[in-house]
Chains A and B, each alone.
Chain A
Amino acid sequence: VQVLLLPVGADWYALELTAVREVVVGGALEPLPGAPPATRGLMNLRGVVLPVLDTAALLGIERPSPGAGSPHVVVVESARGPAGLTASAVPQTGVLGDGAGRSELPAGRGRYAVGDDVAVLVDLETLLAPERIGAAA
């Protein structure tokens, strides 16, 4: 499976390429008063307003840091519409190799070998489900 490998902290997380629209350079984000903590803020994507979410917080591996900028933003197309996901370094494309066990994360669909590394395949709809966005406090 063709995937986009998203660096989050020290790990790789894989998103199916079909759900990814583009990767853009992030930068400053406009904080949103009253938004769930996993919300980093809004960005201007060529004149269109896009909500950007904290990938690590949604995955449940780190506390959210609302309002902080992000060097890279992956623009994904979910069933509920487009959203931006933060990435701590430049994302790369790759191909998933053999399965390497189950993932313990709510949105994780399993671990896979990618070259010498291991990546967790992420289910986008679970990651962006309202209860995940609300739960990532």
Chain B
Amino acid sequence: VNEDEFLRLFAQEAAGRLDSLAQRAIGLEAGEPSREELDAMFRDAHTLKGGASVVGLEAVARRMHDLEQLLEGLRTRRRRLTSEVIDTVLAHVDAVRELIVAGDAPAAEASRYLPQPRAAATPSPPPISPDETISVPLRRLDELVRLVGESTAAQLRVGRLIGERLRGDPVAADEYHRLARVLSDLHERAMRARMLTVGTIAAPLQRAARDVARARGREVRWELVGGDTELDRHVLEALREPLVALVRNAVDHGVEDPSERRARGKPEAGLVRVAAHQTGADVVVAVADDGRGIDFDRVRAAIGGGPASEGELAAALFEPGVTTAVGVTQVSGRGVGLDAVRAVVDGLRGRIEVRSGHGAGTEFRITVPMTLAALRCLLVETGTRRFALPMHAADITLPAGGEAVTVAEGRPALWAGEDVLPLADLGELVGEGRSSRPEGPAVVLTTGRGRLAVRVDELLGQRDVVVQDLGRVLPRLPLIAGASVDPDGSLLLVLDPGGLVERGRARELAAPRVPSGAPAPAQAPSPRVLIVDDELMVRELERSILSRAGFEVVAAADGAQALQLLREQQVDLVLTDLEMPGVDGFALTRAIRADARLTSLPVLVLSGHEGGRDRRRVLDAGADAFLVKSGFDELALLGAIRRLLRTGRTSP
């Protein structure tokens, strides 16, 4: 679910609540309203307010806030119910309806995704210009691309038949090649239709830079280079959060205070530059600053102080628990995330590098494929099975016989240039048994999780494969990136280089050479978070943030459902709203604390109110942390969750 989808979800949910508000408002005219009626109206207004601030419809949130105040007045009988009051309620409802359709203040942004009733008022269609655009659901474009991919596969099958049956028929061959050309053209254009420019996510990045700069008292000069570089929309969406994290880090940990910069002879405003360009089938997006740089001595200390090359230190930055803040002050837990950034980049089959000079700034450089649809792979054989290894991680192959093979720390290893890499057998890694050819070639895998030489029986060549994922019924399999259907109908597994490296190194290295502090988290089950909120949209927003961050998510629509779920399932943390019908956040927290089995379960409360009174009441009820919903900050949320999961309950 992405942001446009939230707007749509919000619009949908809001329509129902606005209808019920209007209906109840009209019902009020019949006479003295019951407390229940007013409570229900208050809840609708409150929920809409919360939802609107989450999707950034500030004018809607303000309207609903005013309505809340008015209803509160009626509830406490400070205000008398008159026709004028009902008019006001209805006016708010109508205004909000229009605001949602118009997409609130950032009209241009939201209205792209919402129906435009204005169009109906202009009966004669305007002449169509070549630049005119329409919005198409992404699902349809994806379907189109998938069908083109299938057509290409079918075309290859037909090609084989023609080759077999009509050997040498020039007309058939000519027609076949024409079809192939048209399909390849169609494929290219269908892919283009799904591309977006990097510039489309510039606004949140610039906003992140500005927000952190203001909070930290820094000055920042923002620069975007190559904003017209195109990327597959899925790739760009996935990169958005990591890029926001990198930009935040650049301002928070990179750029110095204005006085310090002046003292160092730098301009007072620190430069934060996001630059994108295309190289072949890859796109490079770099986030750079001209700040203090990373102090690698401090990084060395943070990972245990042993001897480590600059490259190893740079790699250590992406380990959980090490941050760019190490060289500076330990700030606010905002440094969370380089490990998460790397995980996203790995997931996109890309890589991330860092360059930094002490005092001379830092550059994070992310390289990702322009699209995920076709992946260039190296085909290998081990035993009787074929596998595909993505080329971006498998670019070197070496003969793995004779003198190149050596032993390091009691395990087989292979000389690769100047390095000695652990050597593993692909057949063993995938559980097919050791390779029959001890002298077979080795493929060098280079990933964010390290390097590994993998011995195979045979190299079968390169191929572009259309990778399909395995769906959500199975859990994520660490060794498998996806599968592809061959023209002859057989299946080809695409292996995940990162997973292979992790497993290979775990097998080959009896004791980890890296100093402790970086335990392999891959085997640990992901923590499960229970989300409790009566609003579908908020639940979906939280679900999408948490599952992207690698948590397992279960959801409940109110406190009663949550308690039911907690009785049935093992949960590691509860993230709950405060104001809900029935069992609200306070009651839920108290019930959890009162239950002997759940009493140490961390509870994080997310409230629509800023109020200090709520905060105290929530913490008194036994919650571990309190966050405010508006100005929803993904990193702050994830940071708080990770902190609670790490430390457990703060007080007994």
The answer to whether A36 and B474 touch (CB under 8 A), given A30-B491, A42-B483, is yes
The reply to whether the CB of A55 lies closer than 8 angstroms to some CB of chain B is no
The answer to whether A34 and B474 touch (CB under 8 A), given A42-B491, A44-B490, A44-B491, is no
Q: Find out whether the CB atom of B475 lies under 8 angstroms from the CB atom of A49.
A: no
- Which of B179-187, B465-473, B530-538 forms contacts with chain A? B465-473
A32 CA to B432 CA, complexed, in Å:
11
CB neighbours (8 Å) of A134 from chain B are 475
Task: Give the residue of B431, B468, B473 whose beta carbon is less than 8 angstroms from that of A80.
Answer: B473
CB neighbours (8 Å) of A80 from chain B are 471-473
Task: Give the residue of B153, B431, B473, B499 whose beta carbon is less than 8 angstroms from that of A78.
Answer: B473
Please classify how large the interface on chain A is, using the bins under 10, 10 to 19, 20 to 34, 35 or more: 20 to 34
- Chain A contacts with B in 55-111, Cβ cutoff 8 A: 78, 80-83
The reply to whether the CB of B150 lies closer than 8 angstroms to some CB of chain A is yes
Q: Find out whether the CB atom of A33 lies under 8 angstroms from the CB atom of B471.
A: no
**Chain B 470-486 per-residue mask, 1 if CB under 8 angstroms from chain A, else 0:** 11111101111011110
Q: Which residue of B lies closest to A29 (CB)?
A: B491
The reply to whether the CB of A137 lies closer than 8 angstroms to some CB of chain B is no
Q: Find out whether the CB atom of A49 lies under 8 angstroms from the CB atom of B468.
A: yes
CB neighbours (8 Å) of B482 from chain A are 49
Q: Find out whether the CB atom of A51 lies under 8 angstroms from the CB atom of B493.
A: no
The answer to whether A32 and B472 touch (CB under 8 A), given A44-B489, A49-B491, is no
Number of residues of chain B lying within 8 A (CB) of chain A = 27
Q: Find out whether the CB atom of A47 lies under 8 angstroms from the CB atom of B153.
A: yes
Q: Find out whether the CB atom of A51 lies under 8 angstroms from the CB atom of B153.
A: no
A130 CA to B525 CA, complexed, in Å:
12
The answer to whether A34 and B479 touch (CB under 8 A), given A44-B485, A44-B490, A47-B150, is yes
Q: Find out whether the CB atom of A133 lies under 8 angstroms from the CB atom of B475.
A: yes
CB neighbours (8 Å) of A47 from chain B are 150, 153-154, 485
Q: Find out whether the CB atom of A33 lies under 8 angstroms from the CB atom of B430.
A: yes
CB neighbours (8 Å) of B430 from chain A are 33-34
Q: Find out whether the CB atom of B468 lies under 8 angstroms from the CB atom of A53.
A: no
A135 CA to B470 CA, complexed, in Å:
20
A109 CA to B180 CA, complexed, in Å:
52
Q: Find out whether the CB atom of A83 lies under 8 angstroms from the CB atom of B471.
A: yes
The reply to whether the CB of A24 lies closer than 8 angstroms to some CB of chain B is no
Task: Give the residue of A43, A44, A81 whose beta carbon is less than 8 angstroms from that of B473.
Answer: A81
A45 CA to B493 CA, complexed, in Å:
15
Q: Find out whether the CB atom of A48 lies under 8 angstroms from the CB atom of B468.
A: yes
Task: Give the residue of A30, A35, A48 whose beta carbon is less than 8 angstroms from that of B474.
Answer: A35
CB neighbours (8 Å) of B474 from chain A are 32, 35-36, 39, 51, 133
CB neighbours (8 Å) of A43 from chain B are 491
- Chain B contacts with A in 190-213, Cβ cutoff 8 A: none
CB neighbours (8 Å) of A128 from chain B are 473
Min CB gap B478→A, angstroms: 6
A81 CA to B474 CA, complexed, in Å:
10
Q: Find out whether the CB atom of B473 lies under 8 angstroms from the CB atom of A83.
A: yes
Q: Find out whether the CB atom of A32 lies under 8 angstroms from the CB atom of B480.
A: yes
CB neighbours (8 Å) of A36 from chain B are 474-475
- Chain B contacts with A in 109-159, Cβ cutoff 8 A: 150, 153-154
Min CB gap B149→A, angstroms: 8
Min CB gap B47→A, angstroms: 25
A47 CA to B491 CA, complexed, in Å:
9
Q: Find out whether the CB atom of A51 lies under 8 angstroms from the CB atom of B470.
A: yes
Q: Find out whether the CB atom of A49 lies under 8 angstroms from the CB atom of B479.
A: no
CB neighbours (8 Å) of B431 from chain A are 33-34
A48 CA to B477 CA, complexed, in Å:
18
A134 CA to B432 CA, complexed, in Å:
21
CB neighbours (8 Å) of B473 from chain A are 51, 53, 78, 80-83, 128, 133
A81 CA to B478 CA, complexed, in Å:
20
Q: Find out whether the CB atom of B483 lies under 8 angstroms from the CB atom of A49.
A: yes
CB neighbours (8 Å) of A53 from chain B are 473
Min CB gap A27→B, angstroms: 10
A53 CA to B475 CA, complexed, in Å:
12
CB neighbours (8 Å) of B489 from chain A are 44
Q: Which residue of B lies closest to A128 (CB)?
A: B473
Q: Which residue of A lies closest to B570 (CB)?
A: A131
CB neighbours (8 Å) of B478 from chain A are 34
**Chain B 490-519 per-residue mask, 1 if CB under 8 angstroms from chain A, else 0:** 110100000100000000000000000000
A53 CA to B499 CA, complexed, in Å:
23
Q: Find out whether the CB atom of A32 lies under 8 angstroms from the CB atom of B477.
A: yes
CB neighbours (8 Å) of B432 from chain A are 33
Min CB gap B468→A, angstroms: 5
Q: List 15 A-B contacts (CB under 8 A).
A: A30-B491, A33-B430, A33-B477, A42-B483, A44-B490, A44-B491, A47-B150, A47-B485, A49-B468, A49-B470, A49-B485, A51-B471, A53-B473, A78-B473, A81-B471
- Which 8 pairs across A and B sit closest by C-beta, in order of nearness? A33-B430, A30-B491, A83-B473, A34-B479, A81-B471, A80-B472, A49-B468, A49-B483
Interface residues, chain A, CB within 8 Å of chain B? 30, 32-36, 39, 42-44, 47-51, 53, 78, 80-83, 128, 130, 133-134
Interface residues, chain B, CB within 8 Å of chain A? 150, 153-154, 429-432, 468, 470-475, 477-480, 482-485, 489-491, 493, 499
